[in-house]
Structure 1
């Protein structure tokens, strides 16, 4: 995992857009924040596929954890500010302290715990830019599947098979990255 983490960190640092997004997110000073999902997955799969141009992102998932403020107002304010700073990127800011309800999960303990409840392993990866500009990776299932272009369900993906299956059909990642292998739940 150390080699995979070093590679991912290097790829993030080499991407002007990724670093700009991480700096903007850090400037918001949200508690226990990270940017994850397609932001990380697409960057890695583009690199591993040898793509010269990044695959367009549908959105940028900025997550944070604040159990003291569950209203969506802070999320909306953060999205508006990010859109002013970096327009057209489809910022999606969500407080993970309230996201469990829509997924039928027990309350999440923190951002890492919330990511562990996402449906597939290569998407369950996020990054945070620390005040000293060091990058911290959050990867509850490790980086092996992400780096192997392999999609497997997490425990939540197995439990919510219909949602996992629908997501895999809708995303159709092998059409974008032909080496991606999507596994079915066991």
Structure 2
């Protein structure tokens, strides 16, 4: 049960463990350095690149295992046009050349414009990248980090880190994301059998 050695610890100790794990992961650390250099407003690397990397480290899997892409959020409400976001996406594509995983860049200030068409329901207009995390289907997945100018890792985790370190996927019922929670939970259990998924 060594993979659960950080489960239930105080938040400050879990945050320190997360930072240690991410610093030791060559893919995530490089992605954070590159993202900082891109200098998008209110940016953070979120979701799978973070919690999957923790699970990989604690179960002896190699860096990058099970990670489909690097999700890079930013939030810029000054220009909600598709063209402005597309320009940021194209700039990032050139910037991240050489990283072994693709990077998906999304302006969180624009999500409410396309979300209803894609998912069949409305979502609020996010005022920050951190606010967007609060609407993830699973509380476990709501974690983001950014690298400061002093090389510290800033952690944004509205529901804390204990679910991640407990290998437990917990639903977030703020929106009707039942299917997303179920689908992502099933995929996680296939890749990391130590995972448990709490039902919706």
| Cα offset, 1:104, TM superposition | 1.7
* Farther off after superposition, 66-75 or 108-117: 66-75
* Farther off after superposition, 6-15 or 85-94: 85-94
SS of residue matched to 1:112: helix
Paired residues in the alignment total 182
**Residues 1:163 and 2:165 aligned together:** no
Looking at structure 1, the residues matched to 84 and 93 of structure 2 have their Cα atoms a distance apart, in angstroms, of 14
Q: Residue 153 of structure 1 corresponds to which residue in structure 2?
A: 171
**Alpha carbons of 1:149 and 1:143: their partners in 2 closer, same or farther (altered >3 Å)?**
same
Q: Residue 182 of structure 1 corresponds to which residue in structure 2?
A: 197
Mapping of 1:123-134 within 5 angstroms? 123-134=141-152
Q: Which runs of 5+ in 2 are unaligned?
A: 1-10, 116-120
TM-score (norm 2): 0.83
Q: Residue 107 of structure 2 corresponds to which residue in structure 1?
A: 95
Looking at structure 2, the residues matched to 167 and 176 of structure 1 have their Cα atoms a distance apart, in angstroms, of 11
In 1, are the aligned partners of 2:75 and 2:108 still within 8 Å (CA)? Answer: yes
In 1, are the aligned partners of 2:168 and 2:198 still within 8 Å (CA)? Answer: yes
| Cα offset, 1:53, TM superposition | 4.7
- Aligned alpha-carbon RMSD (Å): 1.9
User: Which of 64, 72, 97 lines up with 1:86 in the alignment?
Assistant: 97
Looking at structure 2, the residues matched to 46 and 139 of structure 1 have their Cα atoms a distance apart, in angstroms, of 19
Looking at structure 2, the residues matched to 11 and 184 of structure 1 have their Cα atoms a distance apart, in angstroms, of 29
Mapping of 1:28-177 within 5 angstroms? 28-84=38-94, 85-87=96-98, 89-101=101-113, 102=115, 104-156=122-174, 159-169=176-186, 172-177=187-192
Looking at structure 2, the residues matched to 22 and 77 of structure 1 have their Cα atoms a distance apart, in angstroms, of 20
Looking at structure 2, the residues matched to 64 and 131 of structure 1 have their Cα atoms a distance apart, in angstroms, of 17
TM-score (norm 1): 0.88
| Cα offset, 1:77, TM superposition | 3.3
Q: Which runs of 5+ in 1 are unaligned?
A: none
Q: Residue 23 of structure 2 corresponds to which residue in structure 1?
A: 13
